[in-house]
Structure 1
Amino acid sequence: MRKQVDLLIIGNGMAANRLLQELCKQPNRPESILVIGEEPRPAYNRVLLSPFLAGELGASDVELNEIDWYAEQGIELLCGDPVLEVDPATRLVRAAGGKVVRYRRLVFATGSRSAMPEMPGIELDGVMGFRTWADVEQLQARAARGGRAVVVGGGLLGLEAAEGLRKLGMQTCVLQRGPWLLNRQLDRSAAGLLQATLEERGLKILTGAGIEMLQGDRGRVSQVMLKDGQMLDADLVVVAAGITPETALAREAGLSCHRAIAVDARMRTSDERVYALGECCEFQGQTYGLVAPIWRQAEVLAQVLSGQEHEYSEQPIATQLKVSGISLFSCGEIDAKDAQAIEYLDLAQREYRKLWLNEGRLIGAVLYGDTRLGPGYFDALLAQHNLSGQRESLLFGIENDRVA
């Protein structure tokens, strides 16, 4: 027997959960909502998987909503039953368990998967990504046996994974292909301070490190060979070198896709009854990995699905990063060409601030250690006031009564 719903959401990750939260605020939300999730559990906070891995948080700290919440909100949830087929022509969706659902409107919130680079040995046992609750459980089980881990990727996820494995007792090495850690969010100086702190804790970090191949013994990874010929012993290799939007279902359904599912400002795909948000969508050539723009997408889409006129637009993002107890803040254009830079460095306290200005207006900021001034800098970046008169004191905060 076929079921019919006003709104069907494919995926039950952070984006879908945020959309549900926003829909619950709307007086004219769709009457019947069904969420189909591939994972066998309600939504959880992927941002917290790293402290969960390290044992710093428990399961309840990571979960976003208990199973009862969905029923209390009049939302039907189907977990652990991945969707196999979407037919926009008939508006039918078929799940692996045999359930067939007809929808009035459909939302893709399928997220992303770990980007696994093409290289010899990538298929070996002991090589994995770090994106899901199941990944955490697998990593914890492997770390309990000790040994050596190699983490591929010096971005936020890679550093958090490496710290978690180190805390669980593994000798851990991070490989960063770029010239410094977090090269999209930090300049070289801030990254240097971060690397020094992490190395003092016991992590080994190699920058400018390209991988030639992974080698194995009896089908299981045993070594990582770098392009410079260096060999690293490895009982575990965690790939945290980016994400790939999950678009397979949408492509098979005939929706327009580039790197991800193409959407307009109302989060609508090439089919007027089908929408997408989060890491699986692409707007004006931009794809997403940080939560701030995805939260705005959820707010827009909830209003659109409730009959209101609302549009998504790109906005500057401030990134408040927490790398295992180390505070970092970044916003705007880092190392922008033709910009004037001013900086403050206290090596004893390991505090660092650097600001980039163009014609007296703040266009970028990086803070390491003490990040309390970050929100003020971000407000100044958005306002684009001329701060020329404060140049000598800017590194110690924005004087709002002196902006022009």
Structure 2
Amino acid sequence: MVEVYAEKCPNYSTVTHWVRKFKSGFLSVMDEPREGRPTSVVTEKNVSTVEGLVKQDRRITVKQLASETRISVGSVEKILHDHLNLNKVSARWVPRLLTADQKKERADCCKHLLRLEANDDLFFQKIVTMDETWIYQFDPEPKNASMQWKRPSSPPPKKAKVTQSSGKVMLSCFWDCEGIIMTDYMEKGKTITGEYYSGLLKRLRSELVRRRRGKLRNGVLLLHDNAPAHRARQAVETADQCGYEILPHPPYSPDLAPSDFCLFPNLKKSIKGRRFEDIEDAISAVEEWFQAQNDTFYSQGLLKVKDRWQKCGRNNSPPSYSILTGLQLHPCVSGRFYFCLSATLPSLLRAPDLAFALGVQSRDSLVMLDTGFRSVWSKAFEICLDGASAATRFSFFCASFLRSPDPPAAP
């Protein structure tokens, strides 16, 4: 045996021990069941227990789970990651949590803007967008800007924490697909009011006459956010007098403002970390950066908003339902009803064996919904659009569709 297994050969006492066991009739080489703690606590029961505790409290810690289940921290982590496939993550910060109505308004606004763009070949050439942002005399660079390559043996870099300077101005920037049209800088301590913004709109008209010949004749589409100064009555009246058409903007949607997702982030990236002697030097650096960008930067940045409108319309909106009133019911054999919705439809919809059917329009497909109730004409229920949207369930509310206490009897 030593010649065959060499160093892996068991010692003489182990060999004699197993020889005695085999002679006594014990032929198994597996360990016998024994009392005491099991070799593994990762059982179906413990996995189910941990899963139940996590469902009760999504913020429960690993130590709390180990204390509740009386198993080790390592076993709890194994159950969480390997068996339940769970990871603990922090909530993603968003500027504001929108309500269902605000999400619908946001989607409807984007769809409306897309329809305007589809009907006007010069839509983006007519747009003039604007927004405001603070320009600081010193604005520290973000943490990720200090990332650098290092070897494992090298110490990590260190950086002292600094704050923004108190010296700052408010930049109001008007631009289009060709570049910057007008900028305005308001010193610290003042506020942009409706009156002040009205004056900016009048100055914008003069700049358009000087820098964009023919733009006023073709029409100007003003795209700005819903700041109080922008929605002030005086500002709206001035925009109308100047010949601007104000485009709708959904509430709390900086991701749909070209200045917020394109212009200002790139501007701030170039000036953050630079310490200017005074605020005038900061303004000069901003103006130099604006002039250094080519026309492609501005045109592509403005066109990106179309992709965001499309994404918003797809993701944030429930199906747009429209109740088709004035249905003309036609009785037929076996007590069923046909109803004609429009002469342009390819075919008639067929109702099941009930008294009435409600037509609901979703996107480009028409589906039929059986109400199934008689005396109660206001009811909340769910519908399943089998053919139109891959059997996705949506919530729908039908309120007082018909005022008759009972539907007429089928012939």
> Smaller-chain TM-score range?
under 0.3
Larger Rg: 2
Q: Which has the higher strand share?
A: 1
TM-score by length of 1: 0.21
